Amino acid sequence: MLDNIKICPGYRFAGIHCGLKAGDVLDLALLLSSCPAVAAAVFTKNRFPAAPVIYGRKQIAEGCDLRAVLINSGNANACTGYQGEIDVLTVAEVLAAALELSRSEIFISSTGVIGEPFPVTTVLRGVEALVADLEGGLNNEEALDAAAQAIMTTDKVSKIVGIEVETSKGLVTLTGIAKGAGMIHPDMATMLAYLLTDAEVDRQTWQAMLQRVVDKSFNRISVDGDMSTNDTVLALANGVSGCCLTASSDLEVLEDGLLQIARDLAFMIVKDGEGATKVVEITVTGASGVAAAEKICRAVANSALVKTAFFGQDANWGRIIAAVGYAGVEINPELVNISFDQVRVVSGGVRDPHYSEEAGAAVLRCPEFTVKIDLQSGEDEFTLLTSDLTHDYISINADYRS
């Protein structure tokens, strides 16, 4: 089922249907570490953070080690006021009692519809069933897959990655799951991601490492330019491998591995974008600063006109160059070159004399391709992933609560 995916030792998983969604769709997940795990997290920057985000931020700020993560789909518990925060505490307390842990060791995440009262009674019934399921029949591979499915909302597929990396202390495993298909925007994408390792690493190093990794992965994707109230990336390191990583070379290996699984999950999110048929890498090179390259990158990646042209397989480079021009960056238009994969489209700010519409359209018919924008004004660059904008995106979101 999960071919070539390494499952991190020292963690168990469960995913069940508790009644938050219609039918028998899985909607409640549990991740459990066999021992206290050092936790790091990055949260949404939305000014309306969901109740579990408020609670999670407090846990991370206080340096809480974590043992269990409970994630529900179907209800965001966002914009639910003080009652929503009380509900988070209630669920955490009940799960802690069931697992014989302290409340501070329980991390809560939610995803789904914003503004609806949190169905705490339904979730509490689910907690009892979830703990029973944890002790039940699924092997860890099947249980991991069930947990990854239970956190999905409009996702079409579950997202799971697992690898091993070699350190001077021995083999270390990293496993990640994520959900997200809509409300995906750079600067924390409705995206949730959970990154696990059996390495031992100190808290400050782990948090700094995660922030760098998020900035190079989940903060470089965009499906629709909307940022959720619930976005969370949580990373746990429980140390069961016995590999205590302190040397800079070992920490570099761990960070490279963490970045690999984060980028793989980020790619899966864009590929599974609501209604998406394309994954497009936008790369700006030759910029006079990274910030300038990023502004242009984001302007192009978030342009509705550009994204609909990608869907229509219309090599309308004028929309791209217009987005470059309104990004708010000082450029020399006479130096700008644009290519679709290896096809040069624009040279010196005008249509390349050798460009053919047929060649450009052929690239845009591919499910994955790159748009490279070379400003020829410096040495800096920036890259992010985006998707096309389709009829299905409108249909999915018009009917989301129907």
Helix, strand or coil for residue 286?
A: strand
Higher pLDDT, 113 or 117: 117
- Supply the pLDDT for residue 182: 55
pLDDT at 222 over 90: no
Higher pLDDT, 7 or 222: 7
Cα gap 343→215, rounded to integer Å: 29
Catalytic residue among 44, 154, 167, 190: 190
Find the mean pLDDT for residues 182-187: 53
Domains of the chain, by residue range, sit at 11-271, 279-398
pLDDT at 324 over 90: yes
Cα gap 337→345, rounded to integer Å: 8
pLDDT digits (tens, 9 = 90+) for 58-103: 999 999 999 999 999 999 999 999 999 999 999 999 999 999 999 9
* Cβ atoms within 10 Å, residue 55: 22
- Supply the pLDDT for residue 392: 78
Architecture (CATH level 2) of domain 11-271: 4-Layer Sandwich (3.60)
Helix, strand or coil for residue 162?
A: strand
Q: What confidence category does residue 4 fall into, taking pLDDT thresholds of 50, 70 and 90?
A: confident
- Is 190 assigned a catalytic role? yes
- Supply the pLDDT for residue 230: 87
Find the mean pLDDT for residues 149-165: 93
pLDDT digits (tens, 9 = 90+) for 267-318: 998 888 777 889 999 999 999 999 999 999 999 999 989 999 999 998 889 9
pLDDT at 183 over 60: no
| Amino acid at position 91, single letter | V
- Supply the pLDDT for residue 400: 53
pLDDT at 188 over 70: no
Question: For residues 74 and 19, is the Cβ–Cβ distance under 8 A?
Answer: no
- Supply the pLDDT for residue 402: 39
- Supply the pLDDT for residue 273: 73
Residues near 364 by Cβ (< 8 Å), separated by ≥ 6? 278, 309, 310, 313, 314, 315, 340
Question: For residues 237 and 38, is the Cβ–Cβ distance under 8 A?
Answer: yes
Q: What is the mean pLDDT of the chain?
A: 92
Find the mean pLDDT for residues 202-212: 97
pLDDT at 387 over 50: yes
pLDDT at 360 over 60: yes
Helix, strand or coil for residue 6?
A: coil
Q: Tell me yes or no: is domain 279-398 CATH 3.10.20.340.
A: yes
Neighbour-count burial of 45, counting CB atoms closer than 10 A to its CB (0-12 exposed, 13-18 middle, 19+ buried):
exposed
Residues near 183 by Cβ (< 8 Å), separated by ≥ 6? 189, 190, 191, 223, 224, 226, 227, 228
Share of the chain above pLDDT 70, in %: 94
